[in-house]
Structure 1
Amino acid sequence: MIQYDRNRRRFAVALAALAGCVDAIGFLSANGYFVSFMSGNTTRLGVALGTAPWHALAPALLIAGFVGGVTGGSLLAMAAGRWRKPAITGLVALLLLIGAGARALGAEYVMLATLVLAMGAINNTFQRGGEVAIGLTYMTGALVRLGQGLALHLAGRPIPGSASWAWLWGGLLAGAVTGAFLEDRLPFGCLWIAAGWALIMVLVACRLPTES
């Protein structure tokens, strides 16, 4: 985060909030499984394999779908080059629109598949040297960096911008609260709202200066 300018940091926070929103919707729709938090699904997979193997299929499929989304998003990012951010956010918006349509048709499994693919793909938005620079759907690393920044501050060696990691985590949390609220009140409208959110992110991405 600290390597990016203020506009890109804000963009990252907005995307993390979108990821939190979608993950909360998926969590409430999938009986406690996640569409973006694969550490949680991996733990559930391990517990299932150790206690009730017949329950391992759901987390295994979600993990596979997430990896597929990352892979597809990475291929798109390589093809898009300098226009990576609009391309990735456009893919995410398309997948969320398909997911919203699938829910409207009662195809819950198709909906979950599109959500997990979208959350895998979104992590390709911020890259440096071909690797993910900012993880948008998982916050353990962000909290570690926040803690390290606090340690440096207490030691009298603060790094400018280190508080951005707190904003990133806060964005995910705020998005999760929003997603849970919308899923509870507008179960058939929440994904359309998330898709609209993603479309706005496409427009924002197009306004950011292109980069290598």
Structure 2
Amino acid sequence: MLDSRRNVLLACALSALAGYIDGIGFLHLGGLFVSFMSGNSTRMGVSLADGRWQEAGSALGLIGLFVLGAAGGSLIMQRRDGEVQSLLLLVEGALLIGATLCHLVVRPSGAVAAIVLAMGLENAAFQIKGGGGLGLTYVTGALVKVGQGLALAVSGGPRLGWLPNLLLWAALAAGSVAGGWAYLQLGLLAVWPGGCFALLLAFLAAASLPGEH
């Protein structure tokens, strides 16, 4: 999946987008996440233990929406034609722009739902046959691969095999900085540039040679 310059660049761009949107979502939801479901699962468990049922329900709802988005993305990628990756990114961009429109017409629940669906959907962008693929909206797995790659490097393996996964982490971290800053300036309207960026990536993905996904 990260076997070509095109794929590395696209994956890093999508991770940066995920970090940007998650930074916005984290501030907007007061500590819940729109793409990091491990964090939401922990928040749900702690809230249940503390008897904060509404907070636990909110975390569970976000998890459910994320899973629905991932399922939708997987269904799109099953088309297996040359433009399928671009189609996925077009849908993601439309969801993010739709979230902004929901915010403008004072439909906060719809805005959050569209954002979470978009984040779940994005993870199918590099889906491989059988349903596996590259996680783009969370980087725990990428950091594990960095550690494993470093171990291989010092034991005679590829010297820079860990670098693409480190770039994924750095892209998501940088995106979250940008998203946090944008939310402080614009509120949930900051999602709009993220949607436009997804549409731009859809165009660029279609214009470039299709990679393995």
Tell me the TM-score normalized by structure 1: 0.94
3-state SS, counterpart of residue 148 of structure 1: helix
Matches for 1:117-196 after TM superposition, within 5 Å: 117-158=117-158, 160-196=160-196
Given the superposition, is the C-alpha separation of residues 211 and 174 from structure 1 closer, same or farther in structure 2, using an over 3 Å criterion?
Answer: closer
Greater alpha carbon shift after TM alignment, 124-133 vs 40-49: 124-133
> Aligned AA for 2:26?
F
Deviation at 1:130, TM superposition (A): 3.2
Instruction: Give aligned pairs, total.
Output: 211
Q: Which runs of 5+ in 2 are unaligned?
A: none
Q: Which residue of 1 aligns with 2:34?
A: 35
Structure 1 unaligned segments of length 5 or more: list them: none
1:33-112 alignment runs, 5 A limit: 33-54=32-53, 55-79=55-79, 81-112=81-112
The 8 Å contact of residues 69 and 118 in structure 1, kept in 2 or not, is answered as: yes
**Contact 1:80–1:87 at 8 Å: present in 2 too?**
no
What percent of counterpart residues are identical?
A: 38
Q: 1:162 to 1:179 in 2, by over 3 A?
A: same
106-115 vs 56-65, which moves further: 106-115
Give the match's secondary structure for 2:169: helix
1:208 CA displacement: 2.5
Q: Which residue of 2 aligns with 1:18?
A: 17
Change (3 A) 1:93 1:80: farther
Structure 1 contact 65–117 (Cα < 8 Å) conserved: yes
**Misfit runs of 4+, over 4 Å:** none
Deviation of residue 86 (structure 1)? 0.4
Matched residue type, 2:194:
A
User: Per the alignment, in what secondary structure is the counterpart of residue 132 of structure 1?
Assistant: coil
How far, CA to CA, are the matches of 1:211 and 1:152 in structure 2?
26
Q: For residue 53 of structure 1, report the CA deviation from its aligned partner.
A: 4.6
Q: Does the 8 A contact of 1:83 with 1:211 survive in 2?
A: no
What is the identity, as a one-letter code, of the residue corresponding to 1:52? G
CA offset digits 1:150-199 (Å, max 9, x no partner): 11122232255421101000010011001001001122531111111111
Structure 2 CA distance for aligned equivalents of residues 53 and 190 of structure 1: 30
Say whether the 8 Å CA contact 1:96–1:194 is kept in structure 2: yes
CA distance in 1, matches of 2:52, 2:188: 33
